[in-house]
């Protein structure tokens, strides 16, 4: 984990020389998804990639947002959250409900969707803040298990909400379906019906908006990591007691991380709601673990790694259909092997050695090239 | 490290393009092979249903092809896994669409079905779900189903208990987190008063994780109902029967098509299912010739007794065949949307005698067929004698 | 009615307690949350199922076989996955444990399929009627076995030398090592005992709720962890007390509040407990070393 910082700061392409060297790594991280999605969109439009592949692009966007935001908590703050799907669930329901309730009155998606995104993100952030205040006294295993409990509670509560609308206005009920007598049958529209899926949300999550949100997420998180606050957060991760004794306000920074991470998970949820069908079982513990696998494979604390790992782990099983039975097994092995290797001294030494050799090789390559150009 | 990742990313992108490109080179003869797309859970906790549907459909496809196909076309089934997940189901649908599917037989479970029907509506592809029973699963004109709708079952069950069985006091145990169970429960409750039923206890539970039904059973037993209505799947119902037996409660149970399979689930304790009544369109022990031939083939091929999902899928393929014949479709290269309009028109005209009964359809996609009242006697499903 | 609810709660709680014992012992000694513990229960159930149903052996052989298998499994998991991480960050250990949990579930899924199977009781105890209340035989069995195990375990830890070694390691690993305690062996022993108990818990659970599938262990595992925290992690009587408490609370909240919200209530109790008294009812405060 020690080279985390270095890899973020690693020198970029020679083409990027105009950009101050400090920001080059960041720029590359932002450019990777932009270029990838641009190429994909082009290929889809040219008809090279078929509808199956085209249908994977928006989901990939919200999973990247999920992975990057989870990595902020797990990699930068160093606390394991097993309830990330809970925040996504809140975002999906808040954003989805907002659109369902307003899509008749606000017809322009260009006005409605940004509000839904902001609202979903903010409410999720609020939930992150609220759950953060009490549990921040906890650490490590306890914090992980409480976030797991939180995720399950959110799902359990959402599953029990009944909401419908008739000419008299909105009707709400908890744990029991709304009594038919309370509703006007002619004008009644069920909006939320316990465990039933939320249907009819206008599919506003286009690839363009999704990619823009991915870029915003990456930029905000990378800048956060690189800021004064980011350094304070990482010092908490590396040595909490030392950080505390130098006067760093641990509670404040933990709250910032929790809320920001939840905010982006909420946004991912809003995108999800406007692309796929929202139903509570989707946001269970397994979803949180799935995102965790993306983060772990990409490298804990490595934002760029999260992006690439998400792309690989989401698209590969889809393209290679037929391996599904073994997919979860492979995920499990990935988790264990990554952790064992990361904590294996010999492997770390080998990795460092290889990286150095690769860097040297690349430098030599560029030197030759630029020499040719000069001729 | 960074460089390695970059190379990996590039390689990934390249690999993806190649894989997708190769996926384009579709079937051999576009006008003679009619591809039926489908999806259902083949892995994960709901895999039982998806695998049954895939197997049932495959048997029908093989039978039809062996008998000369449909109007000279050979059928081909392309069935993808959707893991009982809405998102994956849409991906699966896109996959079969890319593979040249002309109609979609699926999905197997309701929530994914509701997601896929939004996509088939946009593409105007004919969709026939064997077992997606929620109302919204066939809410658009292009979608039809083989099974009963959930509300339909709720109403039928209430009428059957109240009028045919002449019972009064009913208790209900239902799964609050399940779409199927909710749909039946709601309509059953609404219809109960009309059927002269009094609901004396309503107990719910949440999800497949739940194994402890003692609390619900104690409350139900206290209310002393004539019969306990179980609009749930057989796995949970098996646990309810066993725990009622352990606690020494003498209760009678009534269920819907979800209870089909309970005898198999109770392997070794099948005596507990004795006297359980259920309303279902298909039982494997039906002496009907068509049913027996299907059950025999299924057992030979897959080494197990087909459940109702397999039967629905088997009928589904024959329904597609009947609709294609009625519409006079002879060329498999017909456009998806054009085909859908033809099939939609044919669906309301045809009558199909399948293993799940005699079926006709209305334009809203609902299938009309009569459910049979069954009772488990000596470890077998038998029709309830009047 | 209340008595019946209470009884079924206690019997569920006794199972949680047995599982919680495994969590609490491992946490006390290895200072790690063994996420895969719940899935060892599932493995125990499947092994007993395979021996008794598929191979047709006697119930006691199935019980014994299952305990032996799980004990070996526990030791193997510790050796392969956890031991190399002994000096690593808590995060790494926790992620590895989640990985092991997933691994067990998915291996079971591949071997036994996703459909849940009916589990026939290995040991049948007749029901007892006291007045108007019937106590199901399984309840008697579960509570009886739990109490016996609890007593034996307490005696083992307090009277035997291996038990003293465990106490020493849980108190201070470094000091114990200096005093000549074989720390690695002690940790292996802890995993062995915890996993053996998991096998017993698995069989009892499958007898009470006669059904087994690849995900059988997940939820009870999490609930039992809550029970361990509730009773005070690291404390053996605490695990017992916490298990019973969680079982009773779960059943009573199902009976009198809402069946739909009982899980949410159980999880909320965990959060509240950790905030009010993070050390649990019987737990000791751990001092932090710099």
| Residue ranges of domains in chain C | 2-276
- What 8-state DSSP symbol labels residue B255? E
Residue to test with chain C: of B235, B244, B246, most C Cβ within 10 A: B246
Q: Strand ranges (DSSP E) for B242-379? A: 253-255, 277-280, 352-354, 357-361, 367-368, 372-377
- Tell me, yes or no, whether A369 lies in a domain: no
Q: Strand ranges (DSSP E) for B44-142? A: 74-81, 103-106, 126-129
Region B248-268: mean pLDDT is: 84
Do B186 and B153 meet the contact criterion of CB atoms below 8 Å apart?
A: no
A282–B85 C-beta distance less than 8 A: yes
β-strands A169-174, A161-166 pairing: antiparallel
Q: Give me the residue from A146, A292, A336 closest to C103, CB to CB.
A: A336
The Cα C251–Cα C12 span in angstroms is: 8
C117–B269 C-beta distance less than 8 A: no
Report whether pLDDT(B24) > 60: no
pLDDT of residue A8: 43
Task: List the chains bordering chain A where 3 or more Cβ pairs fall under 8 Å.
Answer: B, C
Distance of CA B303 to the CA centre of its chain: 20
Model pLDDT for residues A241-296, shown as the tens digit of each residue: 899 899 999 889 999 999 999 999 999 999 999 998 888 888 988 899 889 989 99
pLDDT of residue A6: 46
Please provide the average confidence, as pLDDT, over all residues in chain B: 86
Domains and CATH numbers, chain B: 28-148+290-368 (3.40.50.2300), 151-280 (3.40.50.2300)
- Bridge partners (DSSP) of residue B374 are B278, B383
Q: What domain range is A213 assigned to?
A: 30-159+195-326
For residue B114, give the nearest of A151, C129, A196 by alpha carbon.
A196
Name the helix (H) or strand (E) containing C211: strand C211-212
| Structure token pair of residue B269 | 């304790």
> In chain A, which residues have their Cβ closer than 8 Å to the Cβ of B134?
196
Do B129 and B143 meet the contact criterion of CB atoms below 8 Å apart?
A: yes
Collect the ranges in chain C with pLDDT lower than 70.
Answer: 284-290
Give me the helices (H) in B127-178, please. 150-159
pLDDT of residue B67: 93
Please provide the average confidence, as pLDDT, over all residues in chain A: 85
Region B18-32: mean pLDDT is: 51
The Cα C220–Cα C227 span in angstroms is: 10
A50–B20 C-beta distance less than 8 A: yes
- Bridge partners (DSSP) of residue B358 are B353
Model pLDDT for residues B327-375, shown as the tens digit of each residue: 999 888 899 999 999 999 999 999 999 998 899 999 889 988 877 788 8
pLDDT of residue A338: 87
- Tell me, yes or no, whether A96 lies in a domain: yes
| Structure token pair of residue C288 | 């932090």
Do A195 and B177 meet the contact criterion of CB atoms below 8 Å apart?
A: yes
Q: Give me the residue from B1, B4, B178 closest to A195, CB to CB.
A: B178
Do B142 and B344 meet the contact criterion of CB atoms below 8 Å apart?
A: yes
Say whether B254 sits in a helix, a strand or coil. strand
Residue to test with chain C: of B50, B218, B223, most C Cβ within 10 A: B218
Report whether pLDDT(B300) > 70: yes
A146–C274 C-beta distance less than 8 A: yes
Q: Among B59-73, B277-291, B293-307, name the one with the lowest average pLDDT.
A: B277-291
On the CB side of A220, CA atoms within 13 Å amount to: 16
- Tell me, yes or no, whether A144 lies in a domain: yes
Provide the CATH number for the domain around residue A320: 1.10.3470
Q: Give me the residue from A82, A144, A157 closest to C264, CB to CB.
A: A157
- Tell me, yes or no, whether A206 lies in a domain: yes
> In chain C, which residues have their Cβ closer than 8 Å to the Cβ of B46?
114
Q: What are phi and psi of A174, to 5 degrees?
A: -120, 135
Query: How far are the Cα atoms of A229, B168, B372 from residue B196, in angstroms, in the given order?
Result: 68, 7, 21
C263–B215 C-beta distance less than 8 A: no
The Cα B228–Cα B201 span in angstroms is: 9
The Cα B206–Cα B210 span in angstroms is: 6
- Tell me, yes or no, whether A211 lies in a domain: yes
In chain A, the number of structural domains is: 1
Q: What are phi and psi of B367, to 5 degrees?
A: -100, 135
pLDDT of residue A7: 45
Query: Is the model more confident about A88 or about A330?
Result: A88
The Cα B187–Cα B179 span in angstroms is: 13
The Cα B216–Cα B202 span in angstroms is: 9
- Tell me, yes or no, whether A305 lies in a domain: yes
Query: How far are the Cα atoms of A136, A289, B258, C95, C242 from residue A82, in angstroms, in the given order?
Result: 15, 7, 34, 10, 23
The Cα B279–Cα B254 span in angstroms is: 8
Q: Give me the residue from C96, C105, C258 closest to A175, CB to CB.
A: C258
C117–B267 C-beta distance less than 8 A: yes
Report whether pLDDT(A357) > 60: yes
A359–B206 C-beta distance less than 8 A: no
Q: What are phi and psi of A161, to 5 degrees?
A: -95, 135
- Bridge partners (DSSP) of residue A311 are none
> C30 CA to chain A: closest CA distance, Å?
13
Do A294 and A306 meet the contact criterion of CB atoms below 8 Å apart?
A: yes
Indicate the fold that domain C2-276 takes in CATH.
ABC transporter involved in vitamin B12 uptake, BtuC (1.10.3470)
Strand order in the sheet with B169-175: B198-205, B169-175, B227-230, B253-255, B277-280, B372-377, B380-383
Do A176 and A162 meet the contact criterion of CB atoms below 8 Å apart?
A: yes
Name the helix (H) or strand (E) containing B104: strand B103-106
β-strands C211-212, C117-118 pairing: antiparallel
Say whether B325 sits in a helix, a strand or coil. helix
- Bridge partners (DSSP) of residue C211 are C118
Q: Which residue has the tokens 């040249």?
A: B100
Model pLDDT for residues B174-232, shown as the tens digit of each residue: 988 888 888 899 889 989 988 899 999 999 888 767 888 988 999 999 999 999 999 99
pTM of the model as a whole: 0.87
SS3 assignment for B172-233 = EEEECCCHHHHHHHHHHHHHHCCCCCEEEEEEEECCCCCCCCHHHHHHHHHCCCCEEEECCC
Region A139-167: mean pLDDT is: 86
C260–B176 C-beta distance less than 8 A: yes
- Tell me, yes or no, whether A69 lies in a domain: yes
ipTM of the complex: 0.86
Query: How far are the Cα atoms of C17, C20, C21, C28 from residue C38, in angstroms, in the given order?
Result: 12, 9, 12, 17
Do B230 and B153 meet the contact criterion of CB atoms below 8 Å apart?
A: no
pLDDT of residue C100: 95
Report whether pLDDT(B6) > 70: no
Burial class (CB in 10 A: 0-12, 13-18, 19+), C105: buried
pLDDT of residue B136: 85
Q: Give me the residue from A140, A175, A336 closest to C260, CB to CB.
A: A175
Q: How confident is the model at residue B313 (pLDDT cuts 50, 70, 90)?
A: very high
Model pLDDT for residues A198-252, shown as the tens digit of each residue: 878 888 899 999 999 999 999 999 999 999 999 999 999 888 889 989 999 988 9
Report whether pLDDT(B123) > 60: yes
> In chain A, which residues have their Cβ closer than 8 Å to the Cβ of B17?
43, 48-49
Report whether pLDDT(B166) > 80: yes
Say whether B382 sits in a helix, a strand or coil. strand
Report whether pLDDT(A174) > 90: no
- What 8-state DSSP symbol labels residue B100? T
Do C229 and C219 meet the contact criterion of CB atoms below 8 Å apart?
A: no
Q: Among A119-123, B5-9, B51-55, name the one with the lowest average pLDDT.
A: B5-9
Burial class (CB in 10 A: 0-12, 13-18, 19+), B250: exposed
CB contacts under 8 A, C 6-45 vs B, are 8, 12
Q: Give me the residue from A241, A328, A339 closest to C95, CB to CB.
A: A339
Q: Which residue has the tokens 């079969």?
A: B96
CB-based contacts of A182, cutoff 8 Å, min separation 6: A171
Query: Is the model more confident about A329 or about B372?
Result: A329
Report whether pLDDT(B319) > 60: yes
Name the helix (H) or strand (E) containing A190: strand A189-193
- Tell me, yes or no, whether A362 lies in a domain: no
The Cα C204–Cα C137 span in angstroms is: 12
Q: What percent of chain B has pLDDT over 70?
A: 91
Report whether pLDDT(A371) > 60: no
């Amino acid at each position: 984990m020690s080279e985390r910082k270095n890899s973020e700061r690693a020198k970029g392409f020679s083409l990027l020389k105009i950009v101050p060297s400090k920001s080059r790594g960041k720029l590359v991280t932002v450019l990777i998804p932009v270029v990838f999605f641009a190429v994909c969109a082009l290929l889809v439009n040219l008809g090279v990639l078929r509808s199956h592949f085209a249908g994977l692009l928006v989901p990939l966007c919200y999973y990247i947002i999920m992975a990057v935001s989870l990595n902020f908590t797990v990699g930068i703050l160093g606390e394991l959250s097993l309830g990330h799907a809970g925040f996504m669930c809140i975002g999906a329901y808040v954003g989805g409900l907002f659109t369902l309730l307003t899509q008749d009155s606000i017809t322009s998606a260009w006005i409605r969707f940004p509000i839904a995104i902001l609202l979903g993100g903010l409410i999720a952030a609020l939930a992150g803040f609220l759950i953060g205040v009490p549990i921040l006294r906890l650490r490590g295993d306890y914090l992980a298990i409480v976030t797991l409990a939180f995720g399950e509670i959110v799902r359990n509560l959402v599953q029990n909400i009944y909401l419908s609308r008739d000419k008299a206005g909105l009707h709400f009920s908890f744990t029991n379906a709304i009594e038919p007598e309370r509703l006007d049958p002619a004008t009644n529209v069920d909006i939320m019906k316990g465990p039933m899926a939320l249907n009819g949300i206008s599919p506003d999550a286009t690839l363009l908006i999704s990619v823009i949100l991915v870029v915003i997420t990456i930029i905000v998180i990378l800048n956060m990591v690189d800021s004064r606050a980011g350094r304070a957060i990482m010092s908490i991760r590396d040595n909490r007691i030392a950080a505390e004794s130098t006067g760093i306000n641990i509670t404040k920074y933990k709250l910032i991380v929790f809320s920001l991470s939840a905010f982006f998970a909420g946004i991912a949820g809003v995108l999800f709601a406007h692309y796929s069908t929202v139903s509570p079982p989707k946001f269970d513990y397994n979803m949180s673990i799935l995102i965790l696998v993306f983060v772990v494979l990409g490298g804990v604390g490595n934002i760029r790694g999260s992006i690439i790992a998400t792309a690989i782990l989401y698209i590969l099983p889809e393209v290679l259909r037929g391996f599904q039975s073994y997919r979860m097994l492979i995920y499990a092995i990935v988790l264990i092997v990554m952790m064992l290797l990361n904590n294996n001294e010999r492997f770390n030494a080998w990795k460092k050695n290889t990286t150095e050799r690769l860097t040297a090789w690349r430098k030599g390559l560029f030197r030759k090239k630029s020499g040719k150009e000069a001729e | 490290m960074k460089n390695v990742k970059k190379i990996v990313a590039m390689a990934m992108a390249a690999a993806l393009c190649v894989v997708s490109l190769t996926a384009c080179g579709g079937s051999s003869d576009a006008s003679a092979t009619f591809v039926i797309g489908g999806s259902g859970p083949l892995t994960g906790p709901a895999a039982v249903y998806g695998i049954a549907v895939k197997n049932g459909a495959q048997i029908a496809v093989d039978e039809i092809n062996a008998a000369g196909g449909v109007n000279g076309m050979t059928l081909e089934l392309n069935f993808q896994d959707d893991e009982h997940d809405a998102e994956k189901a849409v991906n699966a649908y896109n996959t079969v669409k890319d593979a040249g599917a002309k109609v979609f037989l699926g999905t197997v479970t309701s929530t994914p079905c509701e997601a896929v029907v939004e996509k088939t509506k946009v593409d105007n592809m004919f969709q026939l779900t064997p077992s997606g029973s929620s109302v919204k699963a066939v809410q658009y004109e292009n979608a039809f189903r083989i099974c009963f709708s959930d509300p339909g079952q709720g109403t039928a069950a209430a009428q059957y208990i109240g009028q045919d069985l002449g019972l009064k006091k009913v208790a209900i145990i239902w799964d609050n987190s399940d779409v199927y169970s909710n749909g039946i429960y709601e309509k059953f409750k609404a219809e109960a008063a009309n059927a002269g039923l009094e609901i004396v206890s309503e107990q719910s539970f949440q999800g497949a994780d739940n194994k402890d039904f003692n609390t619900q059973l104690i409350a139900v037993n206290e209310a002393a109902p004539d019969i306990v209505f179980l609009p749930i799947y057989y796995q949970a119902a098996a646990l309810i029967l066993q725990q009622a037996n352990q606690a020494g409660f003498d209760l009678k149970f009534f269920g819907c098509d979800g209870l089909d399979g309970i005898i198999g689930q109770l392997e070794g304790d099948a005596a507990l299912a004795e006297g359980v009544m259920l309303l279902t369109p298909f039982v494997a022990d039906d002496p009907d010739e068509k049913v027996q031939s299907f059950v025999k083939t299924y057992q030979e091929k897959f080494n197990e007794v087909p459940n109702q999902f397999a039967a629905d899928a088997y009928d589904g393929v024959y329904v597609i065949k009947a609709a294609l014949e009625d519409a006079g479709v002879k060329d498999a290269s017909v456009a998806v949307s054009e085909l859908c309009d033809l099939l939609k028109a044919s669906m309301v005209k045809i009558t199909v005698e399948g293993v799940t009964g005699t079926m006709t359809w209305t334009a809203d996609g609902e299938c009309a067929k009569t459910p049979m009242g069954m009772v488990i006697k000596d470890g077998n499903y038998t029709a309830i004698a009047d | 009615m209340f008595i019946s609810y209470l009884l079924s709660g206690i019997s569920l709680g006794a199972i949680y307690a047995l599982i919680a014992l495994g969590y609490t012992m491992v946490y006390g000694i290895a200072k790690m949350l063994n996420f895969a513990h719940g899935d060892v229960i599932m493995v125990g159930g499947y092994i007993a199922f395979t021996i008794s149903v598929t191979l047709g052996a006697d119930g006691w052989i199935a019980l014994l076989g299952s305990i032996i298998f799980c004990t070996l499994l526990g030791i193997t998991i510790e050796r392969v996955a956890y031991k190399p991480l002994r000096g690593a960050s808590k995060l790494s250990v926790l992620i590895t444990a989640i990985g092991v949990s997933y691994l067990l579930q998915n291996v079971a899924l591949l071997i036994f399929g996703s459909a849940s199977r009916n589990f026939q009781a290995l040991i049948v105890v007749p029901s007892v009627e006291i007045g108007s209340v019937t106590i199901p035989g399984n309840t008697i069995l579960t509570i009886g076995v739990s109490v016996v195990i609890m007593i034996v375990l307490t005696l083992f830890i307090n009277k035997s030398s291996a038990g003293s070694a465990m106490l020493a390691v849980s108190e201070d690993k470094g000091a114990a090592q200096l005093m000549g305690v074989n720390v690695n062996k002690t940790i292996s022993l802890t995993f062995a005992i915890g996993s053996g108990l998991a096998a017993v818990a698995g069989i009892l659970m499958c007898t009470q709720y006669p059904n087994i599938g690849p995900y059988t262990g997940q939820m009870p595992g999490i609930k039992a962890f809550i029970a361990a925290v509730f009773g005070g992690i690291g404390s053996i009587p605490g695990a017992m007390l916490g298990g019973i408490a969680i079982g009773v609370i779960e059943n009573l909240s199902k009976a009198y509040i809402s069946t739909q919200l009982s899980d949410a209530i159980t999880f909320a109790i965990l959060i509240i407990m950790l905030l009010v008294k993070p050390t649990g009812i019987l737990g000791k405060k751990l001092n932090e070393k710099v």
